Amino acid sequence: PKSELYETHPEWILKLPNRPEHYFRNQLVLDLTNPKVQEFVYNVVDGMLTANPGIAFIKWDCNRMMTNMYSTYLKDKQSHLYIDYVNSLYGVLERLRSKYPDLPIMLCSGGGGRVDYGALKYFTEFWASDNTDPLERIYMQWGYSYFFPAISVCNHVTSWGKQSLKYKGDLYRLISPYKENRAALMYVNQEKTKAVLFSYTLNTPYGETINRVKLQGLDPDKTY
């Protein structure tokens, strides 16, 4: 609220006219249904990239939920607000992607839901969770893999440093962490010339017998 933008354009903020402003992280939400706001947001990002051509990565973080929703621009069409807002955001991203098609951009907390199918074509990867516990990430990424390709999720676990793991290839779920005290999955490229296997030991009770893992997706006539 204490910004030049707000002081110049208070009508660019989403807020109910009959209620006090509601702050979260001391922030308000811009009304992206307004074409002038769309142009402003685009110019901020485009101006930054133009002035700093060496920028190699952007994290687009959405850390503020939408509350006290009312658009001065939409007037009597408030029922359109949520849909028009998202479509307007996509419009800004479309323009940025057209000008910067090769710039890696991560989406974090997209719409409060972390990931968003509609935004997948604009972003290189998603940050799936702030929980970087190695054990819990196994379960998260197992479930994540049912809906999104592995290359779209950015992963690191804090106890192992911040190495970003990226994969390319068909995914085979060999052993589910929900069925055994371990998890196993593997990726195989289309030519079946390379594969990578991940096997995680979770909470193995004393004396439990762990059988062999049967691999999938490989060429039976090749030696790996």
Instruction: Exactly one of 46, 61, 133, 170 is catalytic; name it.
Output: 61
Residues facing 172 on adjacent strands: 186
3-state DSSP assignment of residue 50: helix
Q: Is 61 a catalytic residue?
A: yes
Q: Is 46 a catalytic residue?
A: no
Say how far apart CA 19 and CA 128 lie, in whole Å.
34
Instruction: Exactly one of 102, 130, 133, 221 is catalytic; name it.
Output: 130
Task: Look at residues 116, 113, 8, 22 and name the one whose alpha carbon lies nearest to residue 69.
Answer: 22
Inter-residue contact 92 to 41 (CB < 8 Å): yes
Say how far apart CA 168 and CA 164 lie, in whole Å.
14
Q: In the numeric block, which tokens belong to residue 74?
A: 């939409």
Catalytic residues: 61, 130
